Amino acid sequence: MKHTRFGPYGGVFAPETLMASLEELEDAWRSLWSDLGFRARLSGLLRDYAGRPTALTHAERLSEEFGFELWLKREDLLHTGAHKLNNALGQCLLAQAMGKTRILAETGAGQHGVATATACAKLGLDCVVYMGSVDAQRQRPNVLRMQLMGARVVVVEHGQRTLKDAINEAMRAWVSDPQAHYVLGSALGPHPFPSMVAAFHEVIGQEARAQILEQAGDLPDYAIACVGGGSNAIGLFRAFLEDESVRLVGVEAGGEGIDSGRHAARFAGGSPGVLHGCFTWLLQDDDGQILPTHSVSAGLDYPAVGPEHADLERRQRARYESASDEVALRAFAALSEREGILPALESSHAVGWVMEQAQELQGKRLLVNLSGRGDKDLGTIFALRQEGASDAEVLS
């Protein structure tokens, strides 16, 4: 395998039993990504089935209120309600070209699982999705959506019962079934997944760059996105890497505060190590044991970040901040009430950071990737209200 790293990060830390599958995948990926027929079929599906290009929306009321110019890249408008379909369609097409008929996937917030189930239904592939029981409970509508599209959802009951544990089970299943293809849902894991997933999401930044030049007349001062594994963020950031005037900001899950230890902010509280096949920044103790994580958003509740983000931080090309649960909930309410857009709680972290930094960002043009819509999070929002939080605390 060649070019497996981003600076010191990335690599292939996988059991010998997976190496043949990873090498087969890399060969197919390199061949097909340069194949005009494959690219044309994917572009056609993204346009005619998924609904690309997605809109760029000027958030006029929030801009006026906070004194900056806020633009939202609307991945929430993509079919299935999040950016995840870009990668799911790409990988399922790739699997089909490789002769695979059985697809394995993991999911946290459920959006990647829904996207993979959707792609499999469209392309006639069998689909099995692994999901931690904590996430399955708080994202029940997405479990039902997956099942309605013919996917089998395997609920994981061990560990923290969240995204990390779902990935563990999906990778174990792949080891025992090399005739299947594992559709990893973020820009992490062993090579070639980080590069491949990022490439499938580059369309986000390519569209956003052209749209903001056309609609605003110039590049943004900041390009901002939430960062769990980091696929939506890297899809946005890659379009602006050569534009030194554009500052890149990734926003992690600050949970209940960095000092509390109940968060998923890898750059704020982590260190370099290996998890799920790659060397990157992660939350671990002094003995290298993975620490528990917490976030109100299931999609950010993960102890590692994609290796390309780790390298962007090392090179100081991107800056990584965090937003707490409370800040994300306030942003959810603000965008809902002032712009008529229900954002996913993941995306709400990015919007929340912008609102918290309004003083620093006065007069700046901001491009925020709205990675998904918030229908899936309504149960979480209203459960918090029922547990005793006031309307002001949860929805304002």
Domains of the chain: 15-47+84-193 (3.40.50.1100), 51-81+201-395 (3.40.50.1100)
Helices (H) and strands (E) in the chain, counts: 16, 14
Strand-pair partners of 252 = 322
Q: Which 3 state secondary structure label does DSSP give 180?
A: coil
* Residue whose pair of structure tokens reads 């990668």 in the numeric block: 87
| pLDDT for res 392 | 42
Comparing C-alpha atoms, which of 130, 133, 132, 103 is closest to residue 118? 103
| pLDDT for res 128 | 98
**Interacting residues of 161 by C-beta distance below 8 A, sequence separation 6+:** 132, 133, 134, 135
| pLDDT for res 388 | 57
Comparing C-alpha atoms, which of 73, 103, 121, 117 is closest to residue 181? 103
| pLDDT for res 263 | 98
Give CA–CA dist 267/282, Å, rounded: 8
CA dihedral over 78, 80, 83, 89, signed as positive or negative: negative
Q: Which two tokens stand for residue 34?
A: 């340069």
Please tell me the pTM assigned to this model: 0.95
Q: Which 3 state secondary structure label does DSSP give 181?
A: strand
What are the angstrom distances between the C-alpha of 144 and each of 100, 110, 137, 185, 376?
Answer: 25, 10, 11, 19, 11
Give CA–CA dist 84/204, Å, rounded: 11
Rg over alpha carbons for the chain, rounded to the nearest Å, is 19
- Within 99-212, strands assigned E span 102-107, 126-132, 152-156, 181-183
Torsion of CA 356, 357, 359, 363, to 10 degrees: -120
| pLDDT for res 386 | 80
| pLDDT for res 396 | 46
| pLDDT for res 391 | 40
The residue type of 258 is I
**H or E segment to which residue 138 belongs:** helix 133-138
Q: Per-residue pLDDT for the chain (396 aa), expressed as one digit of tens each?
A: 668 999 999 999 999 999 999 999 999 999 999 999 999 999 999 999 999 999 999 999 999 999 999 999 999 999 999 999 999 999 999 999 999 999 999 999 899 999 999 999 999 999 999 999 999 998 899 999 999 999 999 999 999 999 999 999 999 999 999 899 999 999 999 999 999 999 999 999 999 999 999 999 999 999 999 999 999 999 999 999 999 999 999 999 999 999 999 999 999 999 999 999 999 999 999 999 999 999 999 999 999 999 999 999 999 999 999 999 999 999 999 999 999 999 999 999 999 999 999 999 999 999 999 999 999 999 999 888 787 544 445 444
- Within the chain, strands assigned E span 5-6, 9-10, 56-58, 69-74, 102-107, 126-132, 152-156, 181-183, 222-226, 247-255, 271-275, 278-282, 318-324, 365-370
Task: Work out whether strand 9-10 and strand 5-6 pair parallel, antiparallel, or are unpaired.
Answer: antiparallel
Q: Which residues form the catalytic set? A: 84, 106, 371
